Amino acid sequence: MINNATFADQLLAWFDHHGRNHLPWQKNRNGYRVWVSEIMLQQTQVTTVIPYFERFVGRFPTAKDLAHAPIDEVLSLWTGLGYYSRARNLHHSAITIAEQHKGQVPKDLESLMALKGIGRSTAGAIISQAYNQQGIILDGNVKRLLTRLYAIEGWPGQSQIDKQLWGIATDLTPNQRNADYTQAIMDIGATVCRPKQPLCVACPMQNHCQALAQDKVATIPTPKPKKDIPHKNISVLLLKNKHGQTCLEQRPSKGIWGGLWSLPEFANLKALQTQLALDGLPTQTRPLAPIKHAFSHYKLTIEPHLLVLDKMPQKISENSKSQWYDNQQIHTIGLATPIKKLLEKTP
């Protein structure tokens, strides 16, 4: 079994030759830039995050700038990145940072974890990456690396395995070169100890890796027990007026696409037509090609129905969050991605 000092030394030696040190959040490093990058990276790969990060910090260079921005603009810059609660939490926490921490991202674990959207691993990453202090991380990449290195079987989401992994991660983390160590352990997990076809021949840990020695690399980490993914169908109304504007509704702040703009949604076509009749509108709509969209916990089929009005209605529905938008405006608001695609191809 590898000892802690050897692990850190070998990992840092590997990092000095192969690690990533030109990522945009590694330039002008500060708590705010590292925090934004860590939140974006929570569910998304580095190459996807880079342009979003550049746009986001270009528009909101500090936590105070973010705190003062309207949430709609924040969501607009997040459109396409998914998991929108991350953007809402970021905005909420920026307000807390502006009000309670003089605009500076905190440097201690407790204050960081008191902010919305920051868990223990993200807090550890911020402490080490932004402030070069000892911060422990255990993201998905690190979990995969450690379960293989120690041949730990069983789904890592189980609480006793999670606890065991935190213990190992804590023991292995050195108290110097903290920012480099954190980047190194994330990088090796992402680029060498990959989920599929890990590059064991290029891995500095190959002589210490228990999964490799026991020929268990392909089966560790143990996958999450499978549940059937449910499937849901909805109908949406693509209502256009004679000026070419589209009627959009803002979704509730909680739930799927929380706070984003979308089309009025109905359980099925019958419910959609009932609402049109109640609003005194024609009920003959034109069906458009269905759109399929996959979330992590269910699959969605969206059936759009087009209705073009030749005169403006008295009211669209009881929803006070409805508004008419020009096609050019859809790029300036936070829109659900499949709906944005639909609007772009239905001018």
Cite the active site residues. Answer: 38
DSSP letter at 26? G
The b/e string for 173-193 (b: 16+ C-beta within 10 A; e otherwise) is bbeebbbbbbbbbbbbbbbbb
Which position has the token pair 């995969």? 144
| Residue nearer to ligand SF4 on the CB measure, 220 or 238 | 220
Residue 194 or 232 with smaller CB distance to ligand SF4? 194
C-beta of 222 vs 241, nearer to ligand SF4: 222
Instruction: Give 335's DSSP letter.
Output: B
User: Rounded CA gap, 187 and 54, in Å?
Assistant: 20
Q: Evaluate whether 201 touches 269 at the Cβ level (below 8 Å).
A: no
Residue among 80 and 154 whose Cβ is closer to ligand SF4: 154
| CB closer to ligand SF4, 8 vs 209 | 209
- Kindly state the smallest distance separating residue 194's Cβ from ligand SF4, in Å: 8
Give the whole-angstrom CA distance, residue 205 versus residue 172. 13
Residue nearer to ligand SF4 on the CB measure, 16 or 344? 16
Residue 115's alpha-carbon distances to 59, 252, 255, 318, 331, in angstroms, are 22, 22, 20, 36, 30
Question: Smallest distance from the beta carbon of 159 to ligand SF4, in angstroms?
Answer: 24
Task: Tell the residue number behind the tokens 């342009």, with chain if given.
Answer: 51
- Residue 151, by phi and psi: left (phi above 0), alpha (psi -120 to 50) or beta? left
**Contact criterion met (CB below 8 Å) for 124 and 109:** yes
> How many C-beta atoms lie closer than 10 Å to residue 115's C-beta?
22
Tokens of 110: 């407790």
Distance in Å, CB of 191 to ligand SF4, minimum = 10
Residue 183 is given by DSSP the state: H
Supply the minimum distance, in Å, between the C-beta of residue 206 and ligand SF4: 4
Q: Which of 304, 309, 210, 296 is nearest to 264 (CA)?
A: 304
Contact status, residue 13 vs residue 204, Cβ threshold 8 Å: yes
Smallest distance from the beta carbon of 72 to ligand SF4, in angstroms?
Answer: 43
Nearer to ligand SF4, 8 or 276 (CB): 8
- In the complex, which residues of this chain contact ligand SF4 (CB under 6 A)? 145, 148-149, 192-193, 198-200, 203, 205-206, 209, 211-212, 217
Q: How far is the CB of 105 from ligand SF4 (least distance, A)?
A: 32
Rounded Cα distance, 330 and 161, in Å:
45
**CA distance linking residue 277 with residue 189, whole number of Å:** 56
Query: What is the DSSP secondary-structure string of 80-125?
Result: TT--THHHHHHHHHHHHHHHHSTTPPP-SHHHHHTSTT--HHHHHH
Nearest-approach distance from CB 334 to ligand SF4, in angstroms: 39
